Structure 1
Amino acid sequence: MQHCIVGSGLIGSFIGGVMTANGQQVDLVARGQWKARLQKPITLTDYLGNRAVVTCSIAQSKTADVIWLTVKCTGLHQVIDTLRDRVESHTVIVCCQNGVGSHSIIQQAFPQHQVLRAMVPFNVVLESEQHLHKGSEGSLTLEKSNNTHLTQQLADALSHSLIEVHTTENIDAVQWAKLQLNLGNGVNALADLPVKSMLEDRGYRRVIASLMDELLTVVEHSNITLPKVAKVHGKWLPTILRLPDWLFSRVAKQMLDIDPTVKTSMWWDLQNKKPTEKDFLYGAVLKQANSLGIEAPMNEAMIRLIETTEVNISNDNSRSGLLSPELCNMLNICAKN
């Protein structure tokens, strides 16, 4: 099979690199500094010590059997023309975006094609110019196709010591479970801290717990049963996050077992003055809540606060992270107004 990664940034390049290490035929579509970077050997590592060195192929083939779409939710509309140049009648498109429902943009643009979804749980950082590092745990979960052989081919293309792969028939529930974890992304971006440092502060954890409470209420009213996508089931996370620091560090030791430098994708977006995925994360919770006639004031407040931060950053090169008391106070004010 001929694979193509469209959107070869941190996640896309890591996935494409792993496929290359597996001996797959894969082209990577990249621009600017990423295109230059991928024309040289790339080192792939993870927090467990696994390692591979690969030389990727940059957009050689015109079309592909499988397109792995790894652009951000905010870039889906812009990439449609690129996809049209690469799809054939049999091409399968795998959407690897955060959030819930973003794949519908691709389904509407390509109604005759099979569009599958993948949940990518881990973070990837650029350790050095030619070194991509997966700094957190999690199994990539693929939506099962009606074609069992195709599902197995896709899983085999990715399965490697650097990436654990699972498949599921209920990707909707998996994406909601992943969305619950992603609700910490905006907090991390506003705090301007590594994820580990953020989680060591109860104030930030209380904000994340409040955001998660609203999501759990939404999925309960939607009759969605969340699967376990991390070492702790999502229904227990708000309680654990609210524990005092000394107890949290003991009970949730595995949650803190991540590289101390890891930051979320939303932090990177703010850092690079790019639009964030706020509408596909907090907005997805708010949209579902509205459809059910219930409220999600904390998630609504996060959208407004991140939006304000985006505007401020676009007008000023500098920014300082919000301390947890500041963030708690601002969100409470936002949620009440």
Structure 2
Amino acid sequence: MSQHKELPITVAGAGSVGCYVGGLLAAAGRNVTLLTRPQLAKAVREHGLRVSDLDGRDITVAPNALSVETEPDRALGRARIVLVTVKSHDTAEMAALIAAHAAKDALVVSLQNGVRNAEVLRHTLGHDRVVDAMVPFNVVQTRSSGGAPRFHRASGGTILVEKGDGGLRALLDVPGAPVAEHDDIEAVLWGKLLVNLNNGLNALSGLPIVEQFGDRRWRGLVARQLDEGIAVLRAAGIRHAPYEGVPARVFALALRLPDALFRLAAKSIFAIDESARSSMWGDLEAGRRTEIDHLQGEIIRLAETHGVPAPLNRAVLARVKEAERAKNGSPRLPPEDLNGAR
């Protein structure tokens, strides 16, 4: 692949992660188009967008530094690279739009949660056009009247893409959103899914992740979910890679430490901004459908197939579904409400 920085890149379904990555690509001189919702498109056209991170980076990308579109034909028709950042349940619809409007040789990269998005994209677009990838970090979106919407990376990590010719990695690798190749992206995605099981718990708690992890009762629930997930993947014969260098079992052990010891261990395991909450919390607050079926749902489907119990994952899925239907935001449950799931 050409590494030329003028190669047109469209971020398809640009929300928090898409605008953060797209904003940094534009700031680094890449030719970027955001395909996004009308309200966000209007704000970016008028004020640009602001990208910041927990390392102190804070950049405002001017409106004329990137293109913003709300119509798929206009956004996708010009693309040579399409970065898919929609929720997992919207992947099939986005694949159909890409097939209808993008060039037949446009390369498509999945920057999404879950483990099956590339498979869905390939079903419509073909195997050779799709590259799977994993985004490790959390992005918090805030908007203020009359100002540029802000997209703040609230945790660390390197975007991993499946191993290829290196041109894609070089094109996407920019300050603030580093990219590296990995030769077993499927194992990487399963490792990320195990960590992402906390998204549901965090959404139900309504707490910032730092505050949630400061409570040993919540950490115990996170560890139990990890234990269930690890047992299910072992029964299914599925490899899962360490997440940011930390094996899932080590993470589960660290979560069970007393508070003082956990705080010491956490400094070497992960860094996270005090403002960070899971994207699933944001979905509940906005009354949107969540990705719970693509996280806990994956573990539960495998558990049923292989006869492995996963009661806590089942309980979390059921409570998130209840909250989705209620459309009252996070239910802000105490941990005791889920402790009985055995």
State the TM-score, normalizing by the size of structure 2: 0.88
Return the alpha-carbon distance in structure 2 between the equivalents of residues 271 and 144 of structure 1: 37
Return the alpha-carbon distance in structure 2 between the equivalents of residues 63 and 41 of structure 1: 21
1:136 aligns to 2:155 (yes or no): yes
Match of 2:11 in 1: 5
Letter in 2 for 1:37: A
The aligned runs of 1:315-330 (5 Å cut-off) are 317=328, 320-329=331-340
Percent of paired sites with the same residue: 30
Q: State the 1:255 CA deviation.
A: 5.0
Letter in 1 for 2:283: D
Q: State the 1:113 CA deviation.
A: 5.0
SS in 1 for 2:78: coil
Q: State the 1:77 CA deviation.
A: 3.0
Distance 1:223 1:104, change over 3 A: same
Match of 1:294 in 2: 308
1:133-172 Cα shifts (integer Å, max 9, x gaps): 1110111111123xx1xxx222122222211211112111
Instruction: Extract unaligned runs of 5+ from structure 2.
Output: 1-6
2:156/2:270 contact within 8 Å kept: no
Q: State the 1:52 CA deviation.
A: 2.6
Q: State the 1:231 CA deviation.
A: 5.0
1:26-52 Cα shifts (integer Å, max 9, x gaps): 211111221112213222111001233
Match of 2:266 in 1: 252
Return the alpha-carbon distance in structure 1 between the equivalents of residues 241 and 319 of structure 2: 30
Match of 1:304 in 2: 318
Return the alpha-carbon distance in structure 2 between the equivalents of residues 112 and 174 of structure 1: 19
Distance 1:194 1:94, change over 3 A: same
Q: State the 1:254 CA deviation.
A: 4.2
Match of 1:17 in 2: 23
1:201/1:324 contact within 8 Å kept: no
Match of 2:68 in 1: 58
SS in 2 for 1:304: helix
Return the alpha-carbon distance in structure 1 between the equivalents of residues 111 and 253 of structure 2: 29
Distance 1:237 1:275, change over 3 A: same
Instruction: Extract unaligned runs of 5+ from structure 1.
Output: none
The aligned runs of 1:1-337 (5 Å cut-off) are 1-39=7-45, 40-55=47-62, 56-59=66-69, 62-111=77-126, 114-129=129-144, 130=148, 131-145=150-164, 148=165, 152-255=166-269, 257-313=271-327, 317=328, 320-329=331-340, 332=341, 335=342
1:273-329 Cα shifts (integer Å, max 9, x gaps): 11110110011112222333323222122211211121122xxx4654011222324
Return the alpha-carbon distance in structure 2 between the equivalents of residues 224 and 108 of structure 1: 22
Return the alpha-carbon distance in structure 2 between the equivalents of residues 258 and 312 of structure 1: 30
Q: State the 1:24 CA deviation.
A: 1.4
Q: State the 1:87 CA deviation.
A: 2.0
Return the alpha-carbon distance in structure 2 between the equivalents of residues 255 and 138 of structure 1: 11
State the TM-score, normalizing by the size of structure 1: 0.89
Give the alignment's Cα RMSD to 1 decimal. 1.9
